[in-house]
Structure formats: C-alpha cells, structure tokens
Amino acid sequence: MEEIEVKFLNINPAAIQKKLQEIGAQKSGEYFYRRRVFDYPDLRLDKQGAWLRLRDEGDRITLSFKQRLGIKSHDGSESDDGMEEVEIIVDDFDKTAALILRLGFVEKHYAENKRIRWIKDEVEFDIDTFPELEPYLEIEARSWEKIDMAISWLDLNPEDKKIFSANQIYALKGINVADYSRLAFDGMIKR
C-alpha cells in the first residue's frame, strides 16, 4: 500500500505549530519513538531501497515493511516517487525484535526521534526531531489531493516538498546512516 506523505525540511517548529492552531488543527500529542531496523545478512532489502522497521510509538508498537518507490538519488538531492508501507501492530517490542533476529535477519541500527502530532480533517502533521538533524514537518494523508490542500493551509511552497526517508535527510547532512549502529539523543555510535 502506498504511503502518501511529504516532508518540509528545516522548519521553525513554533511558527508551524502557531499556524496549525490558526487553521483549526488539534494537537494530538508529543511522542518519543524508538525503532530497530532490520535486513537480511546480505542486505538484499537495502539494495532494493527497502527495510523492516520495528517501532515503539509509546502508545503502540508497529512492525513495517517499507520500500522507496521510484528512487532517483541516495543522497537526498531528489525526491522519490513515493513509499510503499505494509504495517501491522505487535504487542512487545523486545520479543518481536528477538523473533526477527531468530528468523535470520540482522539489525542495521537502532534510532530515536521525537514527534509532535497535529491533526486536521484526517491529515496528520508531524513535527519530527531526530538526533543531529534540524526539525522537519511531515504531512501524511489518504490522498495526494489532501496533501496539496494541507500544503496550501500552511502557506508552504509546494516546490519545497520532499518525498523521501529520514535516512535521505541524514545524507543531505553528510551522515551515512549505514555507518552507525545507534542514532540516539544521548549519542550516535559508529560501527
């Protein structure tokens, strides 16, 4: 299933939240996420622009297969065409990770981020902060038309939207996520 979302980089979180409040969006919460990302030992998912992600969202735990669609660059210089995501809810972060490892996968890295979520008309506006990155805005909706509408609500320039992963944002800063086993607020650990 296609994941319909865009990102706007290097935002001012306070200004975006003020604008969200002005347009009638409701703040649904502030979250701390932790995730473990897995692949086969030969990194065949990575070679296809894909990965298996286990994420603890605080109020739920999800296991997702994600794959970049229409990859144009790996350095974040160009947006992808989209993202495929297949997601299920699981009930135990550590046991699910243990199961994945027992199936023969390897852990690529552990990562954390903070998220402030706002919602308006079934559109999610997430202000994301990752270690070593400037905050960015992610807008997710059920259709590209809703995305375009949300961009206009916030008076954002549609030309500034990006369709890519957080790893590509790291690449824009010269950080290759594959070089790290841990991307956390208390420190990033190189392999």
Taking 80 as the threshold, does the pLDDT of residue 139 lie above it? Answer: yes
Q: What ranges make up the beta strands (E) of the chain?
A: 2-3, 5-8, 26-39, 50-56, 61-69, 82-90, 106-120, 123-129, 136-140, 180-184, 187-190
Percentage of the chain surpassing pLDDT 90?
84
Q: Exposed, middle or buried, 174 (CB in 10 Å: 0-12/13-18/19+)? A: exposed
Q: What is the pLDDT of residues 24-78, one digit of tens each?
A: 999 999 999 999 999 999 999 999 999 999 999 989 999 999 998 887 777 777 7
What is the average pLDDT across 95-122? 97
Task: Give the start-to-end residue ranges of the domains of the chain.
Answer: 2-190
98: enclosing H helix or E strand: helix 93-102
To the nearest whole number, what is the mean pLDDT of the chain?
A: 94
The pLDDT of 168-187, averaged and rounded, is 94
* Cβ-contact 128, 113 below 8 angstroms: yes
Report the candidate in 169, 122, 158 with the shortest Cα–Cα distance to residue 141.
Answer: 122
Overall pTM surpassing 0.85 (yes/no): yes
Pick from 20-24, 72-76, 90-94, 103-107: least confident: 72-76
Q: What pLDDT shows up at residue 128? A: 97
Which residues 6+ apart lie within 8 Å of 82 measured at CB? 2, 3, 4, 69, 70, 163
- Please determine, for residue 113, whether its predicted confidence score (pLDDT) is greater than 90: yes
Tell me which residue has tokens 């807008």. 139
Residue 82 has pLDDT above 90, yes or no: no
Mean pLDDT confidence for 127-151: 96
Residue 121 has pLDDT above 90, yes or no: yes
Phi, psi torsion values for 156, nearest 5 degrees = -90, 155
**Class for the domain spanning 2-190:** mainly beta
| List of residues 6+ apart from 79 with CB closer than 8 A | 72, 161, 162, 163, 164
